[in-house]
Chains A and B, each alone.
Chain A
Amino acid sequence: MDDLEADAGDPEELSVRPYTLTQGRTAPARDDLTLITIVKTVDPPPGRSALRGLQPEHHVILRQCRGSAAVAEISAGLNLPVSVTKILIDDLVARGQVTTRPPIAMAAGNESDMNLLRAVRDGLRRL
């Protein structure tokens, strides 16, 4: 954690700055977040004392996810790369301040997948 400042000639210089937000971490502790994992702030949302030690970006995530949002949407909202966003979300998961829902995984020949596809089809027809 002692050398967050990139050397001027560092080829990865561009990627270093956002990682100061993550205190140097370049990968989340757990690697189960995907672009479309849905994140939701716990209800009731964490109070002021529970927010100690968090960055402003964490607060933005907690606010955005009161309704629930996908990792990609959070990344777009923060204007930060997906991998950096995942680390910040992971911090909140570790603190028990957000819950996550993984995307639906499809398996061939599965009846619930058929129902899912029919639901998507019916939804698209209403567009």
Chain B
Amino acid sequence: MVFADSEPAAGGVHVSTPPAAVKILVAGGFGVGKTTLVGAVSEVTPLHTEEYLTVASEGVDDVGGVEEKTTTTVAMDFGRITVNPQLVVYLFGTPGQERFWFMWNDLVHGALGAVVLADTRRLESSFASIDFFESRGIPFVIGVNCFHGQVDRGEQEVRDALTLGPEVPLVMGDMRSKEVGRDLLLALVEHLITTLSTA
């Protein structure tokens, strides 16, 4: 038994120091299984929170060039995985309405990477998320949801439809499965490690 006060203060880290945190985003179109994936791998039931965003309103006439601003509420849910006593991973399921959360800097900034979920019956609903992460240089992996318990499109067909490079990892499976969720997150982290070590 090692007592707390005999723990070496390596790197200034003491046992009573709160854990460090990192985050991973789970994105994709409406109803694609984001909350399901977060819940499958999280050690707690997904928590829910909201934020106010100030956005330029649509369809207002720009008399005098003054942009109308309105306040919008975006909601998201999230879970956590305690990797070790010093490190916690937070998983944020992004809200379905991309055009709002894309502007939520605190949500996007500093993420390790993202899992983008895609439903083979409506792949186009994940285009906006993929474009967003590509343009921001945020690494991502694709999770292809198998809603009918089977893969109805081949991996290459999905890659072509999403115009994914061969370097982007892709995992197919049922997002209600903890193993599938874990494999997706592992694919992302291994992708990050590979990218970092070849940088």
Binding site for B on A (CB under 8 A): 11-12, 14-15, 34-40, 43, 68, 70, 72-73, 75-77, 81-83, 99, 101, 103-106, 108-109, 113-114, 116-125, 127
Contact of A68 among B19, B48, B192, B193 (CB under 8 A): B19
Q: Which residues on the B side are within 8 Å of A36 (C-beta)?
A: 21-23, 90, 110
- Given contact pairs A34-B110, A68-B18, A120-B87, A103 touches B189 in the complex (Cβ within 8 A): no
Write the residues of chain B forming the contact surface with A, with a CB cutoff of 8 angstroms: 16-23, 41, 47-52, 70-71, 73, 78, 80-84, 87-90, 92, 106-107, 109-110, 112, 178, 182, 185-186, 189-190, 192-193, 196-197, 199
Q: Is the CB of A116 within 8 A of B87?
A: yes
* Contact status A121-B20, CB under 8 Å: no
The answer, among B51, B110, B182, for a CB contact under 8 Å with A105, is B110
Q: Enumerate chain A residues within 8 angstroms of B112, measured Cβ to Cβ.
A: 106, 117, 120
Q: Which of B21, B178, B185 contacts A70 (CB 8 A)?
A: B21
CB distance from A74 to the nearest CB of B (A): 9
Choose among A39, A75, A105, A127 the residue that contacts B81 (Cβ–Cβ < 8 A).
A127
Is there contact, CB below 8 Å, between B87 and A72? no
Knowing A81-B49, A81-B52, A104-B20 touch, does A124 contact B193 (C-beta < 8 A)? Answer: no
Cross-chain contact of A120 among B19, B83, B92 (Cβ < 8 A): B83
Specify which of A34, A120, A121 lies most central, judged by the most chain B CB atoms within 10 Å of its CB. A120
List of B residues within 8 angstroms of A75 by Cβ: 49-50
> Most chain-A CB neighbours within 10 Å: which of B21, B41, B92, B189?
B21
Of all A-B residue pairs in the complex, the 4 with the closest CB atoms, nearest first, are A123-B83, A68-B18, A76-B47, A36-B21
Once the chains are docked, how many angstroms separate the CA of A118 from the CA of B110?
18
Which of B20, B90, B107, B182 has a CB less than 8 Å from the CB of A124?
B182
